[in-house]
Amino acid sequence: MHYSIVLLLAVPIVGAIVGALLPNARSAKWWALLVSVATALVGVWMAAQFDWNQDLSAVPTSDRLARSVQIAFTPGFDSPLHLQAIQFSFSLGVDSISLWLVLMTVLLMPVSILASFTYIKERQKEFYAWMQALLAFMLGVFVARDLLLFYVCFELTLIPMFFIIGIWGGSERRYAAGKFFLFTFSGSVFTLAVVIFLGLAAGSFDLATVTQYAQYDLTDSARFWVFMGLAAGMAVKVPLFPVHTWLPLAHTEAPTAGSVILAGVLLKLGAYGLLRLAVPMGLIGPAGLMFPTVVKALAVLCIIGVIYGALVAWVQQDIKKLVAYSSVSHLGFCVLGLVALNDYGMQGSVLYMVNHGLSTGAMFLVIGMIYERYHTRDIHQLSGLAKQMPIMSFFFVFFTLSSIGLPGLNGYVSEFLTILGAFTSEHLGIGYGIAAAVGIILGAIYMLHMVARVIFGPLKVPHVHEEEGHKPLSRDLNGREITVLVPLAIAVVLLGVLPTPVLNSVLEPVRMVRQPVTAPIVGPTAQSPAEVAMVQRP
């Protein structure tokens, strides 16, 4: 029993409640920063506890899935956290995939809180309370080892984000918040139905148990619908091509911190859900991959997303919207690597989740800093910022290059691996790889196009009216803003130069995602007779 993982959720929840009760905005700010840093420290502590070189070769394959989870918190059978009536259990745990995403989340949260110190000017207490609550729920998704708990946390992220976009967003914030909520909720209702079905049929909501049940005991048609239901919720969140339309709007309208978290973490919830639930429960059967056609269809959607996102990004006038559309394109790569269902693709996909969170999050931060100074993001009104803001320009170019996938920076490794995965996948093939590669070229074009217009060329900035009652910001980035960006820059370089620890550590878990567990679990765990009757298999 490891309590660090409980602490990981408890710290931000308590923080949110305390933060909402604090007397003034100034203390709420610093309290939020303190809480998020403390959460980050808990995350680091967990990483230190984690056995990165776990050897599972001696473990029988049927146990590997459960054993790969470390730092687990599993309430006892009689614990109040275990609801026998529906076999729900508040059980937590991380494997290496979860842990990397947890680490990325706890890194992004303090920096986005720090970046909001001047950006958020009204109703500050509420804002920081919602941010801390959001942190808890996002971490909850990554560390949940119970299907229902996963779903609950997945849904819970909606409420804080709804308010963050709706209250502190741009001019279209109300529409954006509503659309965001409606889209994601519509998809996830069907996920809920499937989650309950699986929990009911498997006699437990435990992820390992449900996975094994889904792989061995479902009929093909049931498995297909399970996949569709799970994918419906996740695809909207990722977002995949036809259901992506909420994303540009929400990203553009959200305040900077909201955009960072939205792009950096919330989109990963969808990808993580696909990896953790939809693929192993809906695609994998006793004989391995069951629906190659579905995988192909999914890959086609990804590629459409990659190309479409890139083309639309190219013509954007608003730099924030441009980066938002680039997310559509990038997440296409991420899911493409995932559905390649081989080592390269899936390792790349996990790495992509982390990398995209870092570089796109950083892009949104920098854009927010520009916006705070000039109150515009119009590509036509901004030009030659390098002359006026050299430090900002350095970071802007740096993160753009990371996002494009310049060798030596983080984006390169993951982009290369996902495309390699698509090339070498037995279900996909060269055509998919080539199409995705076109996306990379397009990505370089629109990103560099933006950099050329905004950073270089003759200086042109709009005239800014000084706001009353607020100290004007310095012309270039100030110390706080540099503090915000430096940790991200370091992480970008580190992951670019040394991706191997990440790749090696996730190799075993991603193999487990795509390989069926060999022996099915027989029957639900010990229950009282009444409960056995309640959870009879259909």
Partner 1 sequence: MNTLPVAIGLPYVPDWGQLRAFAPELWLIAAIVAVLLTPFFVKKPNAACGWVALVGLLAALVSVFVVGVDGTGEHFRGLMVADPVSVFWKGLLLMFVIGIVLMWFSTTAPTMHQGDGPEFFTLLLGATLGMSLMASTSNLLMLVIAVELASLPSYVLAGFRKTHLAGAEASLKYILFGAATSSIMVYGLSMLYGLYGTLQIDGPGGLAQQIATSGGSALLWMAIFSLIVGLGFKISAVPFHFWCPDVFEGASIEVSAFLSVASKGAGLVLLMRVMMSFASAQAYESTPLLNHLAVLLGVLGAITATVGNTAAFVQRNIKRLLAYSSIAHAGYMLCIVSLLVRGPAVKADLDLASTAAQVVLFYLAVYLFMNLGAFTVAGLIERETGTERIADYAGMGRRSPLMAFCLSACLFSLVGLPPFAGFVAKVNVFWALMQNGSWWWWLVGVIGVNTVLSLYYYVRVIKVMYLDDSSSAPIWPHPLGAGVAVVCAAILVFMLIAFGPINRLAGHYSHFYGVDQTTFTAEFSSSQPPP
Joined tokens for residue 315: 């013509």
Binding of partner 1 by 10 (CB under 8 A): no
Q: Which range, of 47-55, 184-192, 418-426, 434-442, touches partner 1 by CB under 8 A? A: 184-192
Least separation in angstroms between CB 186 and partner 1: 4
Tokens of 280: 């192993």
Tell me the closest approach of the beta carbon of residue 126 to partner 1, in angstroms: 9
Token pair 């995949």: residue: 240
Residues in region 41-80 near partner 1 by CB under 8 A:
80
Does the footprint of partner 1 cover residue 200 (CB under 8 A)? yes
Q: Which is nearer to partner 1, 18 or 37 (CB)?
A: 18
The residue (of 266 and 477) whose beta carbon lies closer to partner 1 is: 266
Question: Is the bond preceding residue 12 a cis peptide, omega within 30 degrees?
Answer: no
- The residues, ordered by sequence, that sit 6+ positions from 183 with a Cβ below 8 Å of its Cβ are 236, 239, 243, 245, 246
Number of residues that bind partner 1 (CB under 8 A): 36
Torsion angle, alpha carbons of 333, 335, 341, 345, to 10: 30
Burial (CB count <10 Å: 0-12, 13-18, 19+), residue 430: exposed
- 178 contributes a contact to partner 1 by CB under 8 A: yes
Q: Does 21 bind partner 1 (CB under 8 A)?
A: no
Residue 159 vs 444, nearer CB to partner 1: 159
Does 538 interact with partner 1 (rule: CB under 8 A)?
yes
Q: Provide the minimum distance between the beta carbon of 278 and partner 1 in the complex, in angstroms, as a whole number.
A: 17
User: Cβ of residue 258: shortest distance to partner 1, in angstroms?
Assistant: 14
Q: Which residues of 386-407 are buried (b: 16+ CB within 10 A; e: fewer)?
A: beebeebbebbbbbbbbbbbee
Query: Which is nearer to partner 1, 1 or 189 (by Cβ)?
Result: 189
For residue 91, the cross-strand partners are: none
Contacting range for partner 1; rule: CB under 8 A; set: 191-199, 362-370, 493-501, 519-527: 191-199
Q: Which of 1, 41, 44, 189 binds partner 1 (CB under 8 A)?
A: 189
Burial class (CB in 10 A: 0-12, 13-18, 19+), 6: middle
Q: Is 533 in the site for partner 1 (CB under 8 A)?
A: yes
197 binds partner 1 (CB under 8 A): yes
81/373 Cα distance (integer angstroms)? 49
Min dist. Cβ of residue 123 to partner 1 (A): 8
Q: Where are the alpha helices (DSSP H) in 275-342?
A: 292-314, 319-340
527 binds partner 1 (CB under 8 A): no
Distance CA 10, CA 243 (A): 34
**Token digits of residue 36:** 């998020």
Rounded Cα–Cα distance for residues 42 and 106 (Å): 9
Count Cα neighbours of 521 within 13 Å in the Cβ-side half-sphere: 23
On whether the CB atoms of residues 267 and 239 are closer than 8 A, the answer is: yes
Residue 186 interacts with partner 1 (CB under 8 A): yes or no: yes
Interacting residues with partner 1 between 138 and 177 (CB under 8 A) = 148, 151-152, 155-156, 158-159, 162-163, 166-167, 173-174, 177
**Residues found near partner 1 in the complex (CB under 8 A):** 80, 83-86, 148, 151-152, 155-156, 158-159, 162-163, 166-167, 173-174, 177-178, 181-182, 185-186, 189-190, 192-193, 196-197, 200, 530, 533-534, 536, 538
